[in-house]
Amino acid sequence: MSKVLPPRTAAPLEVTLLASVFVVAACGLVYELTAAALASYILGDSVLQFSTVIGAYLFSMGIGSWLSRFFERQLPAHFLRIELLVALAGGAMPALLFLANAYVPGAFRFLLYGMVGLVGILVGLEIPLVMRILKRDVALKELVSQVLTFDYLGALVVSVAFPLLLVPQLGLIRTGLLFGLLNAAVAVWALWVFRHELRRVPAHALACACTLASLLAGFALADGITTLAEDKLYHEPVVVAATSPYQRIVVTNGRAGHRLFLNGNLQFAERDEYRYHEALVHPAMAAHGGPRRVAVLGGGDGMAVREVLKYPSVEQIVLVELDPQMTRIFATDPAMLRLNAGALASPKLSIVNTDAFQWLQNSSEVFDVIVVDFPDPTNFSIGKLYTNSFYALLAQRLSASGYAVIQTTSPLVARQSFWTVATTIESVGLRATPYHAHVPSFGEWGFIIASHRPWHWPTALPGNLRFLSLPSLPTLFDFPQDMARIPAPVNRLSNQALVGIYEQEWGRVAH
């Protein structure tokens, strides 16, 4: 008769080591996500940046795992030192990348992948060392399953908390430093647990104290670091700054008045935004004659809503803005309220903070005018809002006599991009009426009216406009030869050709 062995009870050392695996995995994923998020903020194309950063990070982890074979003795000491190095390199990475982009922009990409590689190698060393330390007391079968379980659990917790809690509440710099402190705390724990095995305990204790002090100082000075970097980057004082799960929002105030930047890209300048927003809104609104129900997709700054409210016939406006941070800032900040004339507080307005694509899919409402004011298609997440799938949904929400107007980048700088949007609109059975206006902060800028019926010249405009007038309106619809129509593909959800065309055209200007 075989003897039944009692279930093995986990030793305190085993439990704490596995808890450290959880922390190590969480910290490693945070460093990976902060690097990818910063790259997408600064370099654009979030799909490309996340893919390359994650790929480089995982490859570096593989190198670290391979290098772990050369650590044979004093494993707790090596583990402690690696934790301190990860804490410093990973925790400081967002702050260093912010500063590099502001002061040495040409070095940003090199520093990004250099630091991702360094942190990846160090993180790749951590888990094998923990497993070899645990191997002294735990059977291999249980060891692998337990370590991988805690590793994956740490990754799960952080992947959920990063966009929903950490970035909105702490920002990227403080998030990195917080998890650097967690890595340093694991090192302090290792110092205490393995103090009888370690040589030069005072030196290790001093290293832990210096690391903690550096990270705590960085955490306390995080706002100052961000302000220093952004003041240098934007060349004028930053008066509003916020990080949401979707973007970095910055408002500056300088000689040109207030300027709004999303992920470093200019969205409007106070001195000439009226040109852009009057051109965006009034050709469609005035041509309709008596619009009652209006939707504004994007435009969380409230400027387009301000122009829509100039029509007494309007009874209802629905503003669909993905980022609640945008609508909060422009509904509460005194300077922003002055710019949009308090439009977001209008009783006619309903604000819906959701993805416009999903909103169109789920909505059954029909509108007389739809104003589409999205950022340019710099990445695939925005590019989907310029596809034939999106415009087919738009057509369903547009009344038979209604007009939709879409901001459509520069027909001069990004000529094929502009006409790709026109071709895509026409591919779903809508008429496309293109026009353009000169906005000094952007140059020549393009718009397209989409409709079921032909667009007609308006017979009247609101009386308090600063840019548009009936006599000057025909000039907006005249395209000179260097902006005239050229062949362009349909932008489909399955290929998003527009994103590549846009990057190529604007990339020529940047270089």
Does 341 lie in the same domain as 486? yes
* Banded pLDDT at 55 (limits 50, 70, 90): very high
pTM for the predicted model, two decimal places: 0.78
pLDDT digits (tens, 9 = 90+) for 354-390: 999 999 999 999 999 999 999 999 888 889 999 999 9
* Banded pLDDT at 44 (limits 50, 70, 90): low
Share of the chain above pLDDT 70, in %: 93
H helix and E strand count, the chain: 18, 11
Does 175 lie in the same domain as 109? yes
What pLDDT does residue 445 have?
97
Q: Domain range holding 142?
A: 12-230
Which residue would you say has higher pLDDT here, 43 or 199?
Answer: 199
Does 279 lie in the same domain as 241? no
Average pLDDT over residues 180-192: 90
- CATH code for position 250: 2.30.140.10
Q: Cβ contacts of residue 163 below 8 Å, gap of 6+? A: 245
Ranked by mean pLDDT, the top range of 13-17, 35-39, 133-137, 447-451 is 447-451
Calculate the dihedral angle through the C-alpha atoms of 383, 388, 389, 391, rounding to the nearest 10 degrees: 90
CB atoms within 10 A of CB 317: 23
Q: Cβ contacts of residue 164 below 8 Å, gap of 6+? A: 245
Packed helices 46-67 and 108-134: angle between N→C axes, nearest 10 degrees: 40
pLDDT digits (tens, 9 = 90+) for 137-184: 555 456 566 667 777 788 888 888 888 788 878 888 899 999 999 999
Does 258 lie in the same domain as 284? no
* Banded pLDDT at 190 (limits 50, 70, 90): confident
Which conformational region is residue 334 in: left (phi greater than 0), alpha (psi within -120 to 50 degrees), or beta? alpha
- CATH code for position 174: 1.20.1250
Active-site residue, 373 included: yes
Q: Does residue 365 belong to any structural domain of this protein? A: yes
Does 333 lie in the same domain as 480? yes
Q: Does residue 477 belong to any structural domain of this protein? A: yes
pLDDT digits (tens, 9 = 90+) for 324-334: 999 999 999 99
Does 249 lie in the same domain as 191? no
pLDDT digits (tens, 9 = 90+) for 258-274: 999 988 888 999 999 99
Element containing residue 83 per DSSP (H, E): helix 75-103
pLDDT digits (tens, 9 = 90+) for 396-451: 999 999 999 999 999 999 999 999 999 999 999 999 999 999 999 999 999 999 99
Does 302 lie in the same domain as 218? no
Q: Does residue 4 belong to any structural domain of this protein? A: no
Q: Does residue 490 belong to any structural domain of this protein? A: yes
End-to-end Cα spacing for the chain = 81
Calculate the dihedral angle through the C-alpha atoms of 99, 30, 12, 198, rounding to the nearest 10 degrees: -30
Q: Does residue 483 belong to any structural domain of this protein? A: yes
Does 428 lie in the same domain as 281? yes
Q: How many independent structural domains does the chain possess?
A: 3
Does 241 lie in the same domain as 194? no
Average pLDDT over residues 274-292: 95
Q: Is the pLDDT of residue 392 over 90?
A: yes
Catalytic residue among 151, 373, 376, 482: 373
Average pLDDT over residues 270-292: 95
What's the mean pLDDT when you consider all of the chain? 89
CA distance 412 to 268: 19
SS3 label, residue 253: strand
Does 116 lie in the same domain as 242? no
Q: Cβ contacts of residue 60 below 8 Å, gap of 6+? A: 116, 117, 118, 119, 120, 121, 124
Closest CA to 256 of 278, 234, 284, 241: 234
**Of 202, 230, 258, which closes a domain?**
230
Does 62 lie in the same domain as 92? yes
